[in-house]
Amino acid sequence: MVVENTIYDLIIVGSGAAGLTAALESGNKSVLIITKTSSFSSGSSPLAQGGIAASVGSDDSASLHYNDTIKAGVYSGRSDQISFLTKMGVPAIENLLKINMAFDKTGSGQLDRNREGAHSRRRVLKAGGDSTGRILVKTLYEEALKRKNISWKHSVFVCDLIIENNSVQGITVYSDNDGFITIRSKRVLLATGGLGQLFGHTTNPVEATGDSMAIALRANLKLKEIEMVQFHPTALNVKSGDSLMLLTEALRGDGALLVRGDGTPFMGKYSPLKELAPRDVVSRAIWNEMKLGHEIFIDLKPIDDLGNKFPTVSSFCLRVGLNPNRELIPITPAVHYVMGGVDINRELPSGLGVAGEASYTGVHGANRLASNSLLECLVYGKSEVERVLSEDHELVDIDPKYPDLSRILDLVDIDLYRSKLQGIMYNNCGIIRNESSLLEGETQLIELKKMIINSPIYSGNNLTYRHVVKWLELNNMVSLGLSLIGSAIYRKESRGAHYREDYPNTSIRWDRIKIEGDSV
Ligand SMILES: Cc1cc2nc3c(=O)[nH]c(=O)nc-3n(C[C@H](O)[C@H](O)[C@H](O)COP(=O)(O)OP(=O)(O)OC[C@H]3O[C@@H](n4cnc5c(N)ncnc54)[C@H](O)[C@@H]3O)c2cc1C
């Protein structure tokens, strides 16, 4: 066993918005930030376009934000956590302003506030137009670089938590430089983001493989509501790398139409709100049309001055050879966000925290309110780090186990099985689910697991970091996929992002909150 010499007060896994926020809130404690990627600008955070929701306006309040969040989550969020999130929104923005986050301002110097779907007030703060995530991560990262208490490691894949006597003892990692090693600390904060890569179509980056959730499963910790997977209705259906480009909802707000290949609009068949129906309704409509054999497109030609209003979208379309001013743009619904994760409402081992998309706080319920996830990263990045730093216990002797690489497959086969898994999840546990599709998906995943075990083992002697990481990710994705399907089978109702055609209504069993005057 190789053990790194330094013992840190805290290890933070992930350098997205949640991990970087946590690091900045760690006072003078010695902190190590780890990312499996070669750059610290990684994860979904830099890709965020819309913004950060917070009730900063004089016409707004935490309680209005609370009500909107609960309704969007179809009354199944946790009232205690939603109350905390929405109350901490304004202080979180003030903290960012203190480190010079360049939010967009109005002509009179006020914070410019956008209104997004299901928000009753203009409360979405943005930066650089549609570059909020990139500017947020840059601001947090540059501030963290100034702090002497923070150390950094990139190209280090965190494999597992080491837990003894219900207390954190460190982590096992696979590092590009040193192979498998153990890093000791009494405290670990998991902030590894979402699991979009489990599905064939996703807006999430290649590193979003749900590693913390798989780590939690192996550590016998509880995941909650990971069946709640939000699809974005309009991702550009042209693969460029491992994920799909998001085509913002604002395009439809500005007149873009959803059409079949012959240019016929179809949304009127599904909702009187047509293109402006809620995200889950539009996603299901597109999914239905695709099942009927239609290819689906977005027609951006009705938008005046598209290039100036939506420069990112226009230039990306042109880059992949599509002229949005002249032709229809192919789209598909794509997995965008997971509302569930490692349950932080249960007692966790001493010294363990979880923040950001990897966690289940309970703030999103069955549907995340737009722009609440970056806020969640900021609020819980802070509160989780404060909690774990207040916990203490002894470091004891350990005998860590590393993943077995003796059965590693050829990289080509790993990639093949990864894409098979993504197809199984997208087709059987996608936008519209039912008992038989879910059971079929479960059977196919179990078969896939057997195929992986029985495949020829890699016979070369040149294992690269990328090869090992892909293998470890595949193992994580298979176990997490099975867990996700199991949760989707268990929830016999339809609510928000989880739509079961065999149980099309909500069930009171899963209601958590009622707001006076609202009907559930
Ligand atoms: C295209 C897109 C647009 C979005 N727009 C918005 C928006 O406008 N507003 C909003 O609120 N939300 C938005 N979201 C959602 C939001 O961006 C994410 O939920 C949020 O950024 C997640 O942050 P995080 O810190 O939890 O994780 P991430 O930002 O995903 O970071 C995860 C980190 O963990 C590291 N990591 C993962 N596994 C390991 C491992 N095993 N070992 C070591 N390191 C590991 C990764 O390399 C990365 O550094 C958007 C998401 C996408 C994909």
- How far apart are the CA of 221 and the centre of ligand 1, in A? 22
Q: Which of 134, 188, 190, 192 to mutate to test the pocket of ligand 1 (most atoms within 8 A of CB)?
A: 192
- Computed over every residue of the chain, the mean pLDDT equals 95
Up-side HSE of residue 232: CA atoms within 13 Å toward CB? 27
> 149 vs 42, 61, 353, 389, 443, CA distance in Å?
21, 36, 19, 14, 49
Q: Check pLDDT > 50 for residue 242.
A: yes
**Whether residue 520 has pLDDT greater than 50:** no
The token pair at 238 is 């042209």
Candidate from 11, 12, 44 with most ligand 1 atoms within 8 A of CB, to mutate: 44
Determine which residue's CA is closest to atom 20 belonging to ligand 1.
Answer: 45
Structure tokens at 43: 């994860």
Residue pair 437/429 in contact (Cβ under 8 Å)? The answer is yes
- Opening angle at CA 384, ends 57 and 30, nearest 5: 115
Q: Is the C-alpha dihedral spanning 231, 237, 241, 244 positive or negative?
A: negative
Q: Measure the CA angle with vertex 246, ends 57 and 70; round to 5°.
A: 45
Domains of the chain, earliest start first: 234-333 (3.90.700.10)
Q: How many CA atoms lie within 13 A of 421 on its CB side?
A: 30
Cα–Cα distances in angstroms (integers) from residue 505 to residues 224, 274, 431, in the given order: 21, 22, 15
pLDDT of 115 over the 90 cut = no
Name the more confident of 510 and 202: 202
Report yes or no for ipTM above 0.95.
yes
Q: What is the mean pLDDT of residues 305-315?
A: 85
Distance CA(128)–CA(134), nearest Å, equals: 9
Distance between Cα 17 and ligand 1 center (Å)? 7
* From 45, 65, 344, mutation site for ligand 1 pocket: most ligand atoms within 8 A of C-beta: 45
Of 297, 296, 324, nearest in space to 310 by CA: 324
Q: How many angstroms is it from 514 CA to the middle of ligand 1? A: 31
pLDDT digits (tens, 9 = 90+) for 22-47: 999 999 999 999 999 999 999 999 99
pLDDT at 518 exceeding the cut of 60: no
* Type of residue numbered 450: K
Residues 207-232: pLDDT tens digits?
999 999 999 999 999 999 999 999 99
pLDDT > 60? residue 123? yes
Q: Which residues line ligand 1 (CB under 6 A)?
A: 13-19, 34-37, 42-45, 47-52, 132-133, 157-158, 191-194, 203-204, 207-208, 211, 246, 337, 356-358, 371-374, 377
The string of pLDDT tens digits covering residues 412-465 is: 999 999 999 999 999 999 999 999 999 999 999 999 999 999 999 999 988 999
Q: What is the rounded distance in angstroms from the CA atom of residue 226 to the CA atom of residue 483?
A: 8
**225 CA from centroid of ligand 1 (Å):** 18
Q: What is the pLDDT of residues 132-147, one digit of tens each?
A: 999 999 999 999 999 9
Q: Is the pLDDT of residue 268 over 60?
A: yes
pLDDT at 300: 96
| Distant-in-sequence, close-in-space partners of 391: CB < 8 Å, separation ≥ 6 | 186, 187, 350, 351
Q: What does the alpha-carbon distance between residue 229 and residue 214 come to, in Å, rounded to a whole number?
A: 16
Q: How confident is the model at residue 516 (pLDDT cuts 50, 70, 90)?
A: low
Which strands, in side-by-side order, build the sheet including 229-236? 229-236, 329-338, 296-299, 257-260
Query: Which two structure tokens, joined as six digits, stand for 351?
Result: 């010294």
